[in-house]
Amino acid sequence: MDGILLQTVEGLGDAPLVRTGCEIWEWLQGEKEELAHDLLSEGPLCQTAVSGVQEAEASEENGREIEWRHRGQLEARLREVNDAQDRLLDGAYGRCTDCGVEIGNKRLAADPAVSLCITCQQSTETEVMCCSL
């Protein structure tokens, strides 16, 4: 009966495309706790999270600016996750907050806190997305 353990471990690799409301809620709750923890712990660990921005000399002032920007990102993400939980309670979860269109399951599986459909998301990130089309 040892083989059963192996099977369940292998099964973890694939994220299910459709999640139940309860699972989504728990995921969002976990994400919130993580974000709150990151926001509370200020200090050098912020630099590892923004490794892509290290071309500039890491002067003290620069580091502070990066830290604040990182903080802003965390706070924005926290708001996103909170909004997603609100939509879950309202029954509006899974729809684009901008145009009301249903957001694809694949997209929700990749990021359960996503609030915009792919079209609206692209129109807010045109500079980033235009190259991939």
Q: With CB under 5 A as the contact rule, which of the stretches 12-20, 22-30, 80-88, 101-109 interacts with Zn ion?
A: 101-109
Smaller CB separation from Zn ion, 66 or 84: 84
- Residue 96 as a binder of Zn ion (CB under 5 A): the answer is yes
- Residue 108 as a binder of Zn ion (CB under 5 A): the answer is no
Smaller CB separation from Zn ion, 5 or 133: 133
Q: Least distance from C-beta 122 to Zn ion, angstroms?
A: 10
What are the beta bridge partners of residue 102?
95
Q: Which of 77, 111, 117, 82 is nearest to 96 (CA)?
A: 117
- Asked if residue 98 lies in contact with residue 120, where contact means CB atoms within 8 angstroms, the answer is yes
- Asked if residue 35 lies in contact with residue 78, where contact means CB atoms within 8 angstroms, the answer is yes
With residue 58 as reference, give the H or E element that holds it: none
What does the binding site for Zn ion look like in residue numbers (CB under 5 A)?
96, 98-99, 101, 117, 120
